[in-house]
Amino acid sequence: MGSKLRDRVAGPDTPEPPYPVRLSGPVIKGFGRGSKDLGIPTANIPADDLSEKHPELTSGVYFGVVALDPKTYKHEIVEGSTSTAVVLPAVLSIGYNPFYKNTVRSVEIHIMPALTEPSPTAAGHEGHTKFHRLPDFYKTRLNLLILGYIRPEFDYVSLEALVEDIRVDCEVARESLLRDAYKSYLVDSGKTSEKVSEDRRWLVSFD
Ligand code: ADP
Ligand code: RBF
Ligand code: MG
């Protein structure tokens, strides 16, 4: 964005319509740049019918929560039982990546560590940000609940400027998800509303 001044959180303290928005799809091959060029792996899911099905999702950067099908993706921290999907925070880009001038729209999701773990993208290691990385999970079904909008897509003067903005996006997503009404999508607090429970059930169900 050029400007270093960015809000620490995005959107209202409680998700408002149209959020949460449900997206789902198999993880497909992307442009092969995420890890290689940027050091930021992004799981791509098909964006074919997105404009018809979700006209509300304008191009931009969003945050939310994801789950991967435990039948094909065994999460490292789940020992023994592999039947329940793990829900993790995520930041995503929907659009044309103006920096790369893509001609097709893409949905690219960067999965972050649990909020109980230290953030690898916290400021302090100038120029040495390491983004979260999991073992590859191509072809695995991914369910995503988009909970809010962060910013529009921008073009950048340099790769470093793009990476720095994505680093800040990760921090904004974390702070945003730490609010009670958002955290309830990540952890079952017991006093979760019926609507949130229903969305959580959808998130972790794979047939
Ligand atoms: P591609 O261009 O094929 O999308 P990337 O370099 O963007 O390749 O890497 C994405 C792949 O890396 C994902 O499909 C997934 O298998 C893996 N991956 C590893 N860690 C993550 C993560 N934290 N978030 C998203 N994908 C990840
Ligand atoms: N690409 C852009 O050209 N402009 C952006 O503002 C932009 N923001 C992004 C924000 C996030 C959180 C993520 C994960 C990606 C973003 N990208 C953006 C896409 C990035 O260029 C893309 O992931 C790589 O090119 C790999 O395909
Ligand atoms: Mg990718």
Is the per-residue pLDDT at 105 higher than 60?
yes
**Ligand 1: residue whose CA is nearest its atom 27:** 41
Please state, in angstroms and rounded to a whole number, the distance separating the CA atoms of residues 4 and 161.
Answer: 10
Tell me, yes or no, whether 13 lies in a domain. Answer: no
Tell me, yes or no, whether 89 lies in a domain. Answer: yes
Sheet order of strands, 43-45 included: 21-26, 141-151, 60-68, 87-95, 106-111, 43-45
Per the prediction, the chain carries an average pLDDT of 91
Tens of pLDDT along 144-201? 999 999 999 999 999 999 999 999 999 999 999 999 999 999 987 778 899 999 999 9
Instruction: Assign 76 a pLDDT band (cuts: 50, 70, 90).
Output: low
Tell me, yes or no, whether 7 lies in a domain. Answer: no
In percent, the amount of the chain with pLDDT more than 90 equals 76
Q: What are 163's two structure tokens? A: 């990476």
CATH code, domain carrying 83: 2.40.30.30
How many domains, the chain?
Answer: 1
Whether cis (ω within 30° of 0) applies to the bond prior to 20 is yes
Is 117 a residue of the active site?
A: no
Tell me, yes or no, whether 181 lies in a domain. Answer: yes
pTM exceeds 0.85: yes
Tens of pLDDT along 15-54? 999 999 999 999 999 988 888 889 999 999 999 999 999 9
In percent, the amount of the chain with pLDDT more than 70 equals 92
Residues, CB-to-ion distance under 5 Å, ligand 3:
30, 34, 42, 44
Tell me, yes or no, whether 165 lies in a domain. Answer: yes
| Cβ within 8 Å of residue 63, ≥6 positions away | 10, 89, 90, 91, 92, 146, 147, 148, 150, 169, 172, 173, 176, 177
Tell me, yes or no, whether 3 lies in a domain. Answer: no
Q: What are 117's two structure tokens? A: 């773990």
Tell me, yes or no, whether 9 lies in a domain. Answer: no
Tell me, yes or no, whether 128 lies in a domain. Answer: yes
Q: Are 125 and 52 in contact (CB under 8 A)?
A: no
Q: What is the span of the domain harbouring residue 31?
A: 21-204
Please give the average per-residue pLDDT across 111-130, as a whole number: 86
Q: Are 172 and 150 in contact (CB under 8 A)?
A: yes
The count of residues in the chain is: 207
Ligand 2 center–CA 138 separation, angstroms: 19
Please state, in angstroms and rounded to a whole number, the distance separating the CA atoms of residues 72 and 127.
Answer: 35
Is the per-residue pLDDT at 80 higher than 70?
no
CB of residue 175 inside a 6 A radius of ligand 2 = no
